[in-house]
């Protein structure tokens, strides 16, 4: 197992569509300056993170450092939580397309020095996670318009980062047909909606920079569901602008709920994304909070704000 001491560095060179090699090298140099020499574990195909992290945990690693995006981070977090090892910390370095979860914690490339220092000093905060379809996630479960945007982004080769998501989202505003979903949560009557998009969030951001769940907390044992009702293209465009700014709560077209769990019911097979990776469910999907699930290395508020 490529490791040094009690930490393992997992590198996904395909993150950010493989266009972030310079950033990867920069992070590895910064880590070596703080931690000394090590040999990173490099993924070769999707899903390699699972075997790498499982092996590292079995070997006794106490810190997993993941260089990638939301998908890489989520895979590492899932294996740590599933192991029951509460002594293990997760370090996140943003190399992906969206890096959405990190934004809720001040983990951004602009703060690279502070983020690497927090990992080296193992300064952590405890966060909730979510669970859906038998797997843990860090940031969000999304369906409807969200899936159409991800599919479109895969077919759009020239853009990257926030601009890629915004471009594809704007294009899909005029193409996506809508979807019927019933939302159930404890203590509330079921609500049947014709949706443009539905997200169930642990973090605040998704889709590159959309402030989808402004009230979400990573430490309250609850998830935030945001359902945007289907509408005509011009109303969709207005909602798109308001969602990007986090100004959509209270609108007639938007339903916002908080609960420890949600069950989504629908007809037939539905594709959904979990931290950017696409899955399928049939007839229903339960999404639940996992309180105080994981320790993540984070810079201080002062460092993240500088």
Return the pLDDT at 69: 92
Report residue 55 as tokens: 């092996």
Return the pLDDT at 306: 63
Residues 198-232: tens digit of each pLDDT: 999 999 998 777 899 999 999 999 999 999 999 88
pLDDT > 90? residue 159: no
Best CATH choice for the domain 140-291 from the list 3.40.710.10, 3.30.70.270, 2.60.200.40, 3.30.110.40: 2.60.200.40
Distance in angstroms (rounded) separating the CA atoms of residues 154 and 146: 13
Confidence category of residue 18, pLDDT binned at 50, 70, 90: low
Tracing tokens 């479960």 back to the chain, one arrives at: 141
Contact at 8 Å (CB) between 195 and 183? no
Average pLDDT (66-74) is: 95
Say which residues have a Cβ less than 8 Å from residue 80's Cβ, sequence separation at least 6: 53, 57, 64, 88, 90, 294
Return the pLDDT at 285: 98
Report residue 218 as tokens: 């990573």
Integer-rounded Cα Rg, in Å, for the chain is 19
Residues 115-125: tens digit of each pLDDT: 999 999 999 99
Average pLDDT (107-117) is: 94
Distance in angstroms (rounded) separating the CA atoms of residues 149 and 168: 6
Topology, domain 7-129+294-305: Rossmann fold (3.40.50)
As a whole-number percent, the residues of the chain with pLDDT over 70 amount to 95
Report residue 60 as tokens: 């006794």
| Same fold across 7-129+294-305 and 140-291 | no
Distance in angstroms (rounded) separating the CA atoms of residues 175 and 237: 12
Domain boundaries, the chain: 7-129+294-305, 140-291
Higher local confidence (pLDDT), 163 or 185: 185
Return the pLDDT at 4: 45
CA 93 vs CA 83, 107, 135, 296: distances in Å: 22, 7, 22, 11
CA 117 vs CA 33, 76, 94, 211, 300: distances in Å: 10, 20, 14, 27, 10
Residues 254-303: tens digit of each pLDDT: 999 999 999 999 999 999 999 989 999 999 999 999 999 999 999 988 77
Q: Give bridge partners of residue 287 from the DSSP assignment.
A: 132, 262
Return the pLDDT at 154: 81
Return the pLDDT at 98: 79
Return the pLDDT at 3: 41
| Prediction pTM value | 0.90
Confidence category of residue 96, pLDDT binned at 50, 70, 90: confident
């Amino acid at each position: 197992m490529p490791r040094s001491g009690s930490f393992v560095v997992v590198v996904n060179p395909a993150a950010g569509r493989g266009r972030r090699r310079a950033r990867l090298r920069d992070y590895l140099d910064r880590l070596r300056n703080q931690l000394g020499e090590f040999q990173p574990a490099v993924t070769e195909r999707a899903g390699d993170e699972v075997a790498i992290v499982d092996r590292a945990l079995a070997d006794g690693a106490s810190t997993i450092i993941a260089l990638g995006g939301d998908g890489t981070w989520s895979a590492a977090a899932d294996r740590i939580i599933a192991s029951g090892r509460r002594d293990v910390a997760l370090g996140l370095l943003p190399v992906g397309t969206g890096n959405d979860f990190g934004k809720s914690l001040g983990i951004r490339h602009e703060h690279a020095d502070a983020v690497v220092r927090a990992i080296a000093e193992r300064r952590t905060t405890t966060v909730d996670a979510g669970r859906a379809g038998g797997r843990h996630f860090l940031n969000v479960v999304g369906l409807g318009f969200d899936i159409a945007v991800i599919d479109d982004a895969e077919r759009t080769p020239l853009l990257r980062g926030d601009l890629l998501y915004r471009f594809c989202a704007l294009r899909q505003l005029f193409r996506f047909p809508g979807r019927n979903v019933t939302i159930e949560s404890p203590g509330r009557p079921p609500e049947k909606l014709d949706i443009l998009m539905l997200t169930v969030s642990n973090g605040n951001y998704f889709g590159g920079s959309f402030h989808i769940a402004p009230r979400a907390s990573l430490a309250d044992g609850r998830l935030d569901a945001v359902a945007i009702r289907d509408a005509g293209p011009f109303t969709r465009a207005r909602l798109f602008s308001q969602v990007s700014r986090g100004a959509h709560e209270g609108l007639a077209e938007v339903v916002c709920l908080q609960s420890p769990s949600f069950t989504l019911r629908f007809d037939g097979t539905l594709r959904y994304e979990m931290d950017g990776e696409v899955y399928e469910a049939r007839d229903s999907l339960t999404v639940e909070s996992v309180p105080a699930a994981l320790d993540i290395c984070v810079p201080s508020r002062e460092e993240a704000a500088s």
